[in-house]
Amino acid sequence: MVKFGVGQSVRRVEDDRLITGGGRYADDFRAPGQAYMVVVRSPYAHAKILSIDTESARAAPGVVDVLTGQELQEAGLGEVSNAAVALIKQRDGSPAFKTTRHVLAVDRVRHAGDAIAAVIAESEAEARDAAELVMIDFEELPVVVDTEKAADPSSPAIWEEAGSNLAYDWGKGDEEAARAAIANAHHVTKLKLINNRIVVNAMEPRAALGMYDKEQDRYTLHVPSQGVHGLRDRIANDTLKIAPEKLRVITEDVGGGFGMKTFAYPEYPLVLYAAKKLGRPVKWTADRAESFLSDTQGRDHVTEAQLALDAEGHILGIYIDTIANLGAYQSQFGAFIPTLAPRDMQAGVYKVPAIYNHVRAVLTNTVPVDAYRGAGRPEASYLIERLMDKAGYETGLGPIEIRRRNFIPAEEMPYNQKPSLPFDSGDFNRNLNDALAKADYEAFEKRRAEKAKEGKLLGLGLCYYVERTAAGMSEFAQLAVDAEANVVHVYTGSQTNGQGHETVWTQFISSRLGLDADQIVVHSGDSDVLPGGAGTGGSKAVYMSTGALGVASDTLIEKGKQIAANELEAAVADIEYRGADGEAVFAVVGTDKRIDLFEVARKAEGQTDSAALEAAGEYKEAGNSYPNGAHICEVEIDRDTGDFEITRYIAVDDFGHVINPMIVAGQVHGGIVQGLGQAMGERTVYDEESGQLLTGSFQDYWMPRADDLPFFDTSYNEIPSKSNQLGVKGAGEAGTVGAPSAFINAVLDALRLAGVENIDMPVTPYSLWKALHGAEEKAA
């Protein structure tokens, strides 16, 4: 019999509804009498708004109302949240420049797709038709889209108030020590690289259904989110200027988020404002073109770095200079991503005595940039793992030996990497050895020689990634025993976006209380149910939610013991809970006197304040965890055409204890493919002249499809984390952190055979062909 316990590849409880067309995604909600909202967006990347004429639109069939930024300002609506800006202190001690983003633009648009007006009509088609009748006079302004050019003081400032396009100049680490390390080094490896911009493209577009209850003076928002509480607070506090309890946010099934669905976008307060004004529900659903122009995008860094080595190849120090493109406005966490999110992950898994990370963040006429799966960690990992490879070749040690020489050894764990990376556990050599064995590394040169005969360049690339998962928040949970239905209701403040939380929380409670899966019902996504919730993001849900559920289940058992003691006529101290081997009972220690959990709940109705046996839990004790592992990628490149194929991909990960290996494998596969997507084709292009997003559809923006990929060989070495009770490390983002450098290092390993030494993401057959062709011409 397969038990529904921790450590098993239990099949998912959420699958039944999702494979039978029964999912409940945001656009699936309909409210009686709802009107449809369509957003009028800027056709220009940078322009003054001279006038907006809504008269024709208002007169169009079916139109209920047309909203503009001016009306919203007069109604007292606040700005769209950019909460993270306040966390940034510049190198000179002054605060960062803070952009002002209205729900609808008032007198200036700063990116193509910037929201200007909202048309609300009886049907979506009527709203779309009328949106084309909103007449706007623009005066076009010069455009800046490129990351490096934006940092050039001679480029026009898109926010005149800032004086330049610099939002902040930030640094962390010991600058003097890092500079001294470079000055005194035996060898310095220098690298400039681009971490290309990504369009997140969750398959489910964003949507919002706003409702307002006049009698209760209360709003309700149905929205696909990564956590209802955070979203509620930002919309209520920053934009609607109401008490958070006046807003209820509801999220059911979410069709992928990857960071992007965390944030309080302009459309959300917009449907709420409209619902109140019009006295009826208002619904908005993005189409894909709108998603490309209004969902936050990811990455977009240009980095120059220096790695200082001694004569034996030991790292002496690292100096990093990054320009990060934040887009036209600072999104909710935008300022946080290139700075505080990665913290000191730039040191990777190596002993680095001195490090300095200098970040200049720029504003451009592009869609705002914010968290995308990994959020700062993939950028950090890509840099250090490219540097290590390059240093390996330059010193002659090779990519494997230079890593081994600098690994923090397992014997030295826990290890406090200065300034602030307290690794709790990890055995980097072991994972690397296992990955090399699985990749049949010893036979690589033979494979390479065989491929060379076919005119193919074979390359093998390695990445040893580490990721720091989120900590420092509170997570909430609640358990309620329903004696009537014989089930336990589980409420968590996290929010699945498809990761399988329902299954994992069910496994956890099943193991804690000794219940079958069908006796456990998991709920989330209603801001009215729990006092708070940390949502999903930063690969933290598994330890934060099980932490909160652990506290709640302990409390539940303690409460139950009181009642059981009464019923069994024993002292509370003599009551134990038996939640294993098919039992879910309170019993008198050493006897067969027992009472079933659900029977206790029935008795509870008369004895406790609440209607049933229930308990709440809050958890905030967890520290950071450090998932890490070795990724090895083998790539075959056709010398004549530049066409390429990934022929081998191995990941050996340490996620601490794994609760559901099947679900974790799914996370790793998906994470790797998002990382590979960035490295092997996802290219976001804004026109330098007009600022238009040229890759604004699935036709123009490549994403990995089924026939672009190999099977991945994934496995785990479970080295328990010491930072949480379960010893888990969080697996949601790891694949995305490791994949880009494993792939690019493999490509460069192949290209070196043809004399090519550098290439940037995304690699395409065309960019490979150009690189190979260019090298041939140079040699000729």
Partner 1 sequence: MKSELDIMLTVDGAEERTTVEPRMLLIQALREKLGVKGPHIGCESGRCGACTVLVNGEAVKSCMMLAAQADGAKITTAAGLAAEDGTLHPLQQAFHEHHALQCGYCTPGMLCAAMDLLKTNPKPNENDVRQALRGNLCRCTGYQHIVDAVLSAAGTLGSGASAVKGAAE
Judged by CB under 8 A, the residue of 201, 330, 625, 741 near partner 1 is 201
Using CA atoms, how far apart are residues 549 and 169, in angstroms rounded to an integer? 41
Is-contact 323 304, C-beta < 8 A?
Answer: no
The reply on whether position 134 binds partner 1 by CB under 8 A is no
The reply on whether position 510 binds partner 1 by CB under 8 A is no
Work out how close the CB of 669 gets to partner 1 at its nearest, in angstroms, rounded to a whole number.
3
Of 16 and 558, which has the nearer Cβ to partner 1? 16
Is-contact 198 297, C-beta < 8 A?
Answer: yes
Judged by CB under 8 A, the residue of 59, 203, 589, 611 near partner 1 is 203
Q: Measure the CA dihedral 600/602/603/604, to 10°.
A: 80
Judged by CB under 8 A, the residue of 499, 507, 510, 511 near partner 1 is 499
Options 9-17, 354-362, 540-548, 756-764: segment touching partner 1 (CB under 8 A)? 9-17
Of 28 and 55, which has the nearer Cβ to partner 1? 28
The reply on whether position 648 binds partner 1 by CB under 8 A is no
The reply on whether position 711 binds partner 1 by CB under 8 A is yes
Of 607 and 697, which has the nearer Cβ to partner 1? 697
Using CA atoms, how far apart are residues 685 and 195, in angstroms rounded to an integer? 13
The reply on whether position 678 binds partner 1 by CB under 8 A is no
> Is 166 in a helix, a strand, or coil?
strand
The reply on whether position 498 binds partner 1 by CB under 8 A is yes
CB atoms inside a 10 Å sphere around CB 12: 19
The reply on whether position 524 binds partner 1 by CB under 8 A is no
Options 25-33, 46-54, 276-284, 526-534: segment touching partner 1 (CB under 8 A)? 25-33
Q: What is the rounded end-to-end Cα distance, in angstroms, of the chain? A: 69
> Is 146 in a helix, a strand, or coil?
coil
The reply on whether position 9 binds partner 1 by CB under 8 A is yes
Query: Rg of the chain over CA atoms, in angstroms?
Result: 28
Options 300-308, 382-390, 494-502, 561-569: segment touching partner 1 (CB under 8 A)? 494-502
The reply on whether position 19 binds partner 1 by CB under 8 A is yes
Q: Which residues contact 487 (CB under 8 A, 6 or more apart)?
A: 518, 519, 520, 521
* Angstrom distances, CA of residue 227 to CA of 162, 209, 579, 586: 33, 16, 31, 35
The reply on whether position 216 binds partner 1 by CB under 8 A is no
The reply on whether position 287 binds partner 1 by CB under 8 A is yes
Of 51 and 699, which has the nearer Cβ to partner 1? 699
Judged by CB under 8 A, the residue of 99, 674, 721, 745 near partner 1 is 674
Place of tokens 């050599």: 429
Of 227 and 550, which has the nearer Cβ to partner 1? 227
The reply on whether position 757 binds partner 1 by CB under 8 A is no
Judged by CB under 8 A, the residue of 67, 460, 570, 665 near partner 1 is 665
Strands 135-140 and 315-327: unpaired
Q: Which residues contact 740 (CB under 8 A, 6 or more apart)?
A: 378, 381, 382, 463, 675, 676, 678, 679, 761
Burial profile 514-533: b = 16 or more Cβ within 10 angstroms, e = fewer = bbebebbbbebbbbebbebb
Judged by CB under 8 A, the residue of 114, 146, 238, 253 near partner 1 is 253
Of 19 and 183, which has the nearer Cβ to partner 1? 19
Judged by CB under 8 A, how many residues of this single chain contact partner 1? 61
Of 61 and 419, which has the nearer Cβ to partner 1? 61
Judged by CB under 8 A, the residue of 707, 778, 779, 780 near partner 1 is 707
The reply on whether position 698 binds partner 1 by CB under 8 A is yes
Judged by CB under 8 A, the residue of 4, 6, 14, 54 near partner 1 is 14
Of 91 and 128, which has the nearer Cβ to partner 1? 128
Residues between 428 and 467 that touch partner 1 (CB under 8 A): none
Residue 727's φ and ψ, nearest 5 degrees, are: 75, 25
* Angstrom distances, CA of residue 237 to CA of 119, 209, 251, 274: 25, 19, 19, 18
Work out how close the CB of 91 gets to partner 1 at its nearest, in angstroms, rounded to a whole number.
38
Using CA atoms, how far apart are residues 593 and 331, in angstroms rounded to an integer? 59
The reply on whether position 712 binds partner 1 by CB under 8 A is yes
Judged by CB under 8 A, the residue of 63, 672, 680, 763 near partner 1 is 672
The reply on whether position 298 binds partner 1 by CB under 8 A is no
Judged by CB under 8 A, the residue of 177, 188, 517, 709 near partner 1 is 709
Which of 69, 111, 103 lies closest to 270 in space, CA to CA? Answer: 103
The reply on whether position 699 binds partner 1 by CB under 8 A is yes
Judged by CB under 8 A, the residue of 145, 185, 202, 318 near partner 1 is 202
Residues between 256 and 285 that touch partner 1 (CB under 8 A): 256, 258, 285
Judged by CB under 8 A, the residue of 549, 600, 673, 768 near partner 1 is 673
Which of 47, 157, 52 lies closest to 109 in space, CA to CA? Answer: 47
Give me the 39-68 binding string for partner 1, x by CB under 8 A, dash otherwise: ----------------------x-------
Residue 632's φ and ψ, nearest 5 degrees, are: -125, 130
* Angstrom distances, CA of residue 207 to CA of 30, 249, 268, 681: 12, 13, 8, 28
The reply on whether position 644 binds partner 1 by CB under 8 A is no
Strands 35-41 and 282-285: parallel
Work out how close the CB of 30 gets to partner 1 at its nearest, in angstroms, rounded to a whole number.
8
Burial profile 407-427: b = 16 or more Cβ within 10 angstroms, e = fewer = bbeeeebebebbeebebbbbb
Work out how close the CB of 90 gets to partner 1 at its nearest, in angstroms, rounded to a whole number.
36
Q: At 744, which helix (H) or strand (E)?
A: helix 734-751
Examine residue 762 and say whether the peptide bond preceding it is cis (omega within 30 degrees of 0): yes
Work out how close the CB of 709 gets to partner 1 at its nearest, in angstroms, rounded to a whole number.
6
Strands 315-327 and 355-363: parallel
Is-contact 6 104, C-beta < 8 A?
Answer: no
Using CA atoms, how far apart are residues 338 and 335, in angstroms rounded to an integer? 7
Of 201 and 724, which has the nearer Cβ to partner 1? 201
Work out how close the CB of 128 gets to partner 1 at its nearest, in angstroms, rounded to a whole number.
11
Work out how close the CB of 707 gets to partner 1 at its nearest, in angstroms, rounded to a whole number.
4
Of 124 and 638, which has the nearer Cβ to partner 1? 124
Of 106 and 662, which has the nearer Cβ to partner 1? 662
Residues between 350 and 379 that touch partner 1 (CB under 8 A): none
Token digits of residue 469: 């998962």
Token digits of residue 206: 């964003």
Which of 313, 310, 382 lies closest to 346 in space, CA to CA? Answer: 382
Options 65-73, 308-316, 497-505, 561-569: segment touching partner 1 (CB under 8 A)? 497-505
Of 254 and 363, which has the nearer Cβ to partner 1? 254
For every residue of 244-305, DSSP letters joined together read GGGEEEE----S--TTGGGS--THHHHHHHHHHHHTS-EEEE--HHHHHHHS-EE--EEEEE
C-alpha 273: how far from its chain's center?
29
Work out how close the CB of 635 gets to partner 1 at its nearest, in angstroms, rounded to a whole number.
17
Strands 218-222 and 207-213: antiparallel
Using CA atoms, how far apart are residues 564 and 647, in angstroms rounded to an integer? 61
Of 5 and 244, which has the nearer Cβ to partner 1? 5
Work out how close the CB of 504 gets to partner 1 at its nearest, in angstroms, rounded to a whole number.
13
The reply on whether position 722 binds partner 1 by CB under 8 A is no
The binding site for partner 1 (CB under 8 A) comprises: 2, 8-9, 11-12, 14-16, 18-25, 27-28, 61, 125, 201-205, 253-256, 258, 285, 287-288, 497-500, 661-663, 665-666, 669-674, 697-699, 703-707, 709, 711-713, 735
